[in-house]
């Protein structure tokens, strides 16, 4: 894992994508996240909006953009449930910010690093979700850490497949 100075890395590689990719990729992630569980009989062991948030935050290397994207994706996910709006929003806001901050400092081209980062950020998102729901709001919510662990593994595997596909869509100088 090669370490670089923050400014030098940011200047070195800020990925740019066509506007359509910025719109369609998150939209596709949200639609698939809502549609696939009905096909897969309820086994929701993945979080596509989280994976897309992490990808764009790592690629753009801008904490503000990562924060905004995470907030938007999380709020969208919350709005599709019947729970409070903002729980996923806060979790993904933090994840987007952290992913962009990490992207500035380390080389994220390596697949292993991407896999590990996706796994850790997925676990962090689940932890924040539980903290907000149970501690901050004081609501009763059944929880299984094993499920969240499986979900983190699922997200990592999806990231390994999805990141190279999205890499192909970037604008190359």
Partner 1 sequence: MESFFVRYRNLVVLLAILLAQIIGLAVQVRRTGSGRNTLDPQDAPGVRLIRLWADAVVSPPERLIHSSKLGMIYLWQNYFDLRHTREQNQELQKTIDRLRLEQAALLEDARQGQRLQALMDFQRKYIYKTLAAQAIGSSGSDQSRVFYLDKGSADGLERDMAVITADGIVGKIREVFPHSAQVLPINDPTSGAGVILESTRIRGILRGNAAGQPQIVGILADQRIQKGEKVLTAGGDLIFPLGLPVGVVEKVAPDPERDSFIDVIVQPAAHLDRLDEVLVITSTQPRFSPEEQQDMATSEALKGPEAEAIKERKKASEVMAERLPGLTDPNAPASNPAPNAAPATGSGTPEQGQNQAKPASPAAPPMVLRPAHPDRFSPGAVPQAAADQPVPGTEAKPAQQTEPRRNP
Half-sphere exposure of 67 (CA within 13 A, CB side): 5
The SS3 call for residue 130 is helix
Query: Which residue number, 93 or 118, has a Cβ lying nearer to partner 1?
Result: 93
- Indicate the helix (H) or strand (E) that contains 27: helix 19-39
**What is the nearest approach in angstroms of partner 1 to the Cβ of residue 111?**
26
Q: Are 65 and 108 in contact (CB under 8 A)?
A: no
Question: Would you say the C-alpha torsion 77, 79, 80, 82 has a positive or negative sign?
Answer: positive
The CA distance from 66 to 55, in Å, is 9
Query: Which residue number, 86 or 106, has a Cβ lying nearer to partner 1?
Result: 86
**What is the nearest approach in angstroms of partner 1 to the Cβ of residue 157?**
17
**What is the nearest approach in angstroms of partner 1 to the Cβ of residue 168?**
22
Name the token pair of 5: 């100075």
Query: Which residue number, 80 or 169, has a Cβ lying nearer to partner 1?
Result: 80
Judged by the rule CB under 8 A, the positions of this chain that interact with partner 1 are 27, 30-31, 33-38, 41-42, 44-45, 63-64, 67-68, 71, 75-77, 79-90, 93-94, 97, 101, 132, 136-144, 147, 151
**What is the nearest approach in angstroms of partner 1 to the Cβ of residue 172?**
27
Query: Which residue number, 2 or 38, has a Cβ lying nearer to partner 1?
Result: 38
Q: Are 172 and 17 in contact (CB under 8 A)?
A: no
């Amino acid at each position: 894992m090669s370490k670089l100075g923050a400014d030098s890395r940011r200047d070195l590689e800020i990925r740019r994508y066509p506007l359509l990719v910025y719109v369609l990729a998150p939209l596709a992630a949200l639609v698939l996240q809502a549609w696939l569980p009905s096909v897969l009989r309820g086994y929701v062991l993945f979080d596509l909006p989280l994976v897309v948030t992490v990808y764009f935050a790592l690629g753009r290397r801008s904490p503000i953009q990562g924060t905004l994207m995470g907030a938007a994706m999380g709020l969208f996910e919350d709005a599709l449930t019947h729970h409070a709006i903002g729980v996923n929003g806060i979790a993904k806001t933090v994840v987007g910010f952290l992913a962009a901050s990490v992207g500035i400092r380390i080389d994220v081209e390596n697949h292993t690093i991407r896999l590990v980062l996706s796994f850790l950020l997925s676990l962090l998102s689940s932890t924040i979700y539980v903290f907000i729901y149970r501690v901050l709001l004081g609501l009763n919510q059944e929880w299984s850490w094993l499920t969240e662990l499986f979900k983190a593994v699922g997200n990592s595997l999806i990231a390994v497949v999805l990141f190279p596909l999205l890499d192909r869509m970037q604008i190359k100088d």
